[in-house]
């Protein structure tokens, strides 16, 4: 197969369950680049959270690329310059803020009303009551986050914000006023919260924003919002157009729903063995899992290297 560019998802695809690139996969991808192939890492992660894996694969040396934020931003690994960007407008950010605040307030009002009804007129400020109130507030909070260079900007510091910071190696900054403090057009906004709340509010958020933004659940505790039309497939097409590479000469590997546009757009779309059924049905090929060097085995078996 005459493949000139490979587009690879990171989590669950490039990385095994120990969050490492196994030796066979790393060496196979290095060989592909040494023979003139273009390697592109594609992830929902910000650029800062992808660099460590790009360094392992020597993307800068072989002039590879990063497609961050589900394809909302493409960075040249060699020059470290952004060559493509699709940001949200200020009014999009305001719409995200308005709908999440409304849904959060409704959830808190309902839960607190149930608590008041439970205690009726015999409310005592006990430790148990305070813990119940704390639990309600924690369970009904909807946090907002976005990225600015190597920082995670948050409306609140909570468990999901800290996890996002740690996973991507970012600093963290708490915004006193999220709307006015974000004085730039973000590529992606995250809505985090308790999984049961995220599941409950997602349909309303998607319905409210669907005309102007793309909205998807990326984790049980996380909703991602980007500008309309942003996806990994669009990033693949855009980069190939810039590089003069025919789409038929591309391969893509992924395991999650956000990889489907990329897998469909590529000449060869390959689902990992650990991918869900929807991803497998959307792909032309299926390889071994991320714990079984699935990427390398497919490339070697089909003589792409």
Give the CATH number of the domain where residue 196 resides.
3.30.1240.10
In this structure, are 95 and 216 located in the same domain? yes
In this structure, are 107 and 187 located in the same domain? yes
pLDDT band at 109 (very low <50, low <70, confident <90, very high): confident
In this structure, are 244 and 206 located in the same domain? no
In this structure, are 110 and 207 located in the same domain? yes
In this structure, are 194 and 103 located in the same domain? yes
pLDDT band at 273 (very low <50, low <70, confident <90, very high): very high
In this structure, are 222 and 205 located in the same domain? yes
Q: How many domains, the chain? A: 2
Runs of H (alpha helix) within 74-194: 90-119, 127-140, 159-168, 178-181
Dist. CA 223–CA 59, nearest whole Å: 30
In this structure, are 140 and 214 located in the same domain? yes
In this structure, are 133 and 218 located in the same domain? yes
Q: What is the mean pLDDT of the chain?
A: 92
* pLDDT confidence of residue 134: 62
Percent pLDDT > 90 in the chain is 85
246: exposed, middle or buried (Cβ count in 10 Å: 0-12, 13-18, 19+): exposed
Dist. CA 149–CA 250, nearest whole Å: 30
Reported as type and span, the H/E element at residue 200 is: helix 195-209
Q: Tell me the CATH number at 15.
A: 3.40.50.1000
Estimate the crossing angle of helix 23-34 against helix 294-301, to 10 degrees: 50
In this structure, are 148 and 163 located in the same domain? yes
Residue of 108 and 289 predicted with greater confidence = 289
Range of lowest pLDDT (61-70, 121-130, 191-200, 227-236):
121-130
In this structure, are 215 and 278 located in the same domain? no
In this structure, are 113 and 153 located in the same domain? yes
Choosing from 188, 205, 227, the residue where a domain stops is 227
- In 3D space, the residue among 77, 87, 4 whose CA is nearest the CA of residue 47 turns out to be 77
pLDDT band at 185 (very low <50, low <70, confident <90, very high): very high
Choosing from 171, 196, 227, the residue where a domain stops is 227
Residues 6+ apart with CB under 8 A from 210: none
150: exposed, middle or buried (Cβ count in 10 Å: 0-12, 13-18, 19+): middle
Domain of 138?
90-227
In this structure, are 159 and 246 located in the same domain? no
Choosing from 227, 253, 268, the residue where a domain stops is 227
């Amino acid at each position: 197969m005459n493949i000139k560019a490979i587009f690879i998802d990171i989590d669950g695809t490039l990385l095994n369950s120990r969050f490492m690139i196994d030796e066979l996969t790393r060496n196979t991808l290095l060989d592909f680049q040494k023979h003139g192939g273009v390697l592109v890492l594609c992830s929902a992660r910000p650029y800062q959270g992808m660099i460590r894996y790009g360094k392992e694969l020597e993307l800068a040396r072989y002039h590879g690329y990063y497609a961050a934020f589900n394809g909302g931003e493409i960075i040249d690994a060699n020059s470290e310059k952004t060559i493509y960007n699709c940001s949200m407008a200020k009014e999009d950010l305001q719409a995200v803020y308005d709908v999440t605040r409304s849904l959060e307030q409704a959830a808190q009002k309902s839960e607190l009303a149930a608590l008041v009804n439970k205690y009726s007129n015999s409310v005592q400020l006990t430790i148990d009551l305070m813990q119940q109130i704390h639990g309600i507030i924690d369970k009904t909070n909807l946090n907002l986050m976005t990225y600015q260079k190597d920082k995670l900007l948050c409306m609140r510091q909570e468990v999901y914000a800290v996890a996002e910071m740690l996973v991507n190696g970012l600093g963290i900054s708490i915004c006193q006023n999220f709307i006015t403090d974000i004085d730039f057009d973000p590529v992606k906004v995250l809505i985090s919260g308790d999984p049961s709340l995220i599941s409950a509010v997602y349909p309303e958020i998607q319905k409210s924003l669907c005309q102007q933004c793309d909205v998807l659940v990326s984790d049980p505790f996380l909703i991602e919002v980007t500008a309309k039309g942003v996806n990994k497939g669009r990033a693949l097409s855009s980069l190939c157009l810039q590089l003069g590479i025919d789409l038929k000469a591309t391969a893509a590997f992924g395991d999650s729903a956000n990889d489907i546009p990329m897998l469909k757009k590529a000449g060869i779309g390959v689902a990992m063995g650990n991918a869900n059924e929807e991803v497998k049905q959307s792909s032309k090929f299926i390889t071994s899992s991320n714990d079984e060097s699935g990427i390398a085995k497919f490339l070697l078996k089909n003589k792409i290297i």
